[in-house]
């Protein structure tokens, strides 16, 4: 974007945090290089927006570190015609990345004020292919299912059955599973009525809350 004072920091983020750590999908790298991450954090955090760490966004929630956003997105293997569900809108940054890669993004956020802020940010950036709702993310978005990809940005103690049932045959879900300080980022692939699980890496996310 023209006259963007954060362009150099964003380019350095992509080179040092993503490419150097194995992110290879050119579409993911391009989206991360173009989306102004600093606009998705509070003003007092903008100078730190491209650092290699999560940042607070209010309501005891965080925006994930850039590498984790890229890693989770890359694992979905999204194609332009795909439809994706995000659980935990947060700042809206992950949704903005997904919106560059998929036809339609459905995003569920539990906290109304975060959902409203994210909606305004996406609108201001001209991102029109994200639908949002406030609700219990563990229940997904059944009327819009099935989804080619599901990305969950809060840790669940166990795999939520409504989400697995909303995953299309051949679809992929990335979700952190575990408890408190013992969490694993998992890839779930659906093959008919069979779900294959693959461990990606250790991670640390805020807990998923239901109800």
- The Cα 91–Cα 95 span in angstroms is 9
User: Whole-model pTM above 0.85?
Assistant: yes
- If one counts every other C-beta atom within 10 angstroms of the C-beta of residue 181, the result is 7
pLDDT at position 73 is 98
* Range(s) of the domain holding residue 68: 52-203
The answer to whether residue 208 is domain-embedded is no
> What residues contact residue 156 under an 8 Å CB cut-off, 6+ apart?
138, 175, 176, 177, 207, 208
pLDDT at position 97 is 98
pLDDT at position 211 is 61
Residue pair 92/116 in contact by the 8 Å Cβ criterion:
no
Pick the catalytic residue: 64, 91, 107, 138?
64
pLDDT at position 114 is 97
The answer to whether residue 21 is domain-embedded is no
- The Cα 90–Cα 113 span in angstroms is 10
**β-strand pairing of 55-58 with 61-63:** antiparallel
**β-strand pairing of 104-109 with 83-87:** parallel
The answer to whether residue 16 is domain-embedded is no
Q: What CATH number should be reported for the domain holding residue 181? A: 3.40.50.150
The answer to whether residue 6 is domain-embedded is no
The answer to whether residue 104 is domain-embedded is yes
- The Cα 163–Cα 139 span in angstroms is 7
Q: Is 91 a catalytic residue?
A: no
The answer to whether residue 44 is domain-embedded is no
pLDDT at position 180 is 78
The answer to whether residue 30 is domain-embedded is no
The answer to whether residue 151 is domain-embedded is yes
DSSP-derived secondary structure for 55-68: EEEETTEEEPPHHH
pLDDT tens for the 211 residues of the chain, in order: 456 889 999 999 999 999 999 999 999 999 999 999 999 999 999 999 999 999 999 999 999 999 999 999 999 999 999 999 999 999 999 999 999 999 999 999 999 999 999 999 999 999 999 999 999 999 999 999 999 999 999 999 999 999 999 999 999 999 999 987 899 999 999 999 999 999 999 999 989 987 6
pLDDT at position 143 is 97
Sign (positive/negative) of CA torsion 130, 133, 134, 135?
A: negative
- How many domains in the chain? 1
pLDDT at position 4 is 83
């Amino acid at each position: 974007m023209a006259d963007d004072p954060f362009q150099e920091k964003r380019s350095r983020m992509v080179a040092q945090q993503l490419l150097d750590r194995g992110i290879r999908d050119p579409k993911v790298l391009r989206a991360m290089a173009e989306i102004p991450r600093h606009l998705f954090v509070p003003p007092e955090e903008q100078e730190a927006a491209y650092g290699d760490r999560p940042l607070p966004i209010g309501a005891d929630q965080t925006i994930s570190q850039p590498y984790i956003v890229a890693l989770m997105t890359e694992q979905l293997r999204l194609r332009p015609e795909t439809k994706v569900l995000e659980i935990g809108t947060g700042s809206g940054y992950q949704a903005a990345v997904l919106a560059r890669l998929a036809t339609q993004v459905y995003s569920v956020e539990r906290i109304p004020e975060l959902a409203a802020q994210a909606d305004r940010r996406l609108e201001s950036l001209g991102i029109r292919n994200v639908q949002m709702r406030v609700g219990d993310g563990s229940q997904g978005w059944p009327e819009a299912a099935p989804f080619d990809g599901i990305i969950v940005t809060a840790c669940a103690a166990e795999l939520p059955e409504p989400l697995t049932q909303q995953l299309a045959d051949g679809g992929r879900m990335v979700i952190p599973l575990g408890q408190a300080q013992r969490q694993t980022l998992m890839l779930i692939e659906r093959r008919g009525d069979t779900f294959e699980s693959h461990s990606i890496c250790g991670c640390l996310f805020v807990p998923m809350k239901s109800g």
